[in-house]
Amino acid sequence: MMSAATNTFESVKAVILSAHKSTTSTDKVNFYNSWAENYDQDVTVLDYRAPSLAANSISSHFSGSREAAVVLDVACGTGLVAKQMKRLGFGHFVGVDGSEAMLELARDSGLYQDLKLSMLGEETLPVQWDSFDVVVIVGALSVGQVPAAVVRELCKSTKPGGYICMTTRSNRDNLEYKGALERELKQMEEEGLWSCVEVTEVEDWERAVSEQEDGYISGAVYLYKKLQL
């Protein structure tokens, strides 16, 4: 007989694997709209650590006033990253997401001063360039989600001297995407747009859901600093 915990994990696994079948942007938005209500408890079952890992990476390098800092939370979902950053003393958040239902929950959290609906990779980020102290994107930079080229807009949104924090998975399904992402990050460094502060490879990123993997998959946190031009 299966224990309740395994059962929960199995059901969450089924939900996430069904997301991978969503090919068009309309399918994806519909998927996230329908998942929004159970999202927080489902990622808890997955032991999803990316939001806290990203927040800690930013926190360990950010030296300005956290109270005054304005954070752009891209693909903010229900607000998991803002919740972690709030715990670390940040208080001013602007969120962007493609799912109206996710934004409703983010609004209910009371963490955000402003929330905007936008399909990343299809529309330009609906924010002013050079205006954020910190820009963070957690969970969306992966195969079938947001194109790696979006990182240029993240950089443009950041104030000179500000930080950009990004995460991606390192499991087999995502290795090709991760390679393309890292080439883009390096290319932008060579163009003098930003400098790499740290890259943290994490073994126990989240519980594996694909049929080919078990245990935990790994992931990476990238922290960059926009150069003063």
Asked whether the predicted pLDDT for residue 5 surpasses 70, the reply is no
Give every CB contact of residue 47 below 8 A, 6+ residues apart in sequence.
Answer: 204, 206, 207, 216
Place of tokens 């800092």: 69
What does the pLDDT read at residue 2? Answer: 43
Sign of the C-alpha dihedral computed for residues 210, 215, 218 and 219 taken in this order: positive
The token pair at 204 is 């126990």
Q: What is the rounded distance in angstroms from the CA atom of residue 51 to the CA atom of residue 55?
A: 6
Domains in the chain: how many in total?
Answer: 1
Asked whether the predicted pLDDT for residue 214 surpasses 90, the reply is no
Q: What is the pTM of this model?
A: 0.92
Is residue 122 within 8 A of residue 25, CB to CB? The reply is yes
Average pLDDT over residues 71-94: 97
At 201, phi and psi to the nearest 5?
Answer: -90, 130
Question: Where residue 104 sits, what CATH number does that domain have?
Answer: 3.40.50.150
What does the pLDDT read at residue 16? Answer: 77
Please, is 186 exposed, middle or buried when counting C-beta atoms within 10 Å of its C-beta (0-12, 13-18, 19+)?
exposed
Q: What is the rounded distance in angstroms from the CA atom of residue 139 to the CA atom of residue 141?
A: 6
Higher pLDDT, 61 or 206: 61
For the segment 34-77, what is each residue's pLDDT rounded down to a tens digit? 889 998 898 888 889 999 999 999 999 999 999 999 999 999 99
Q: What is the rounded distance in angstroms from the CA atom of residue 178 to the CA atom of residue 126?
A: 25
Higher pLDDT, 4 or 200: 200
Q: Which domain holds residue 199?
A: 4-226
Which pLDDT band holds residue 7 (cuts at 50, 70, 90)? low
Average pLDDT over residues 15-35: 80
Q: What is the rounded distance in angstroms from the CA atom of residue 122 to the CA atom of residue 120?
A: 5
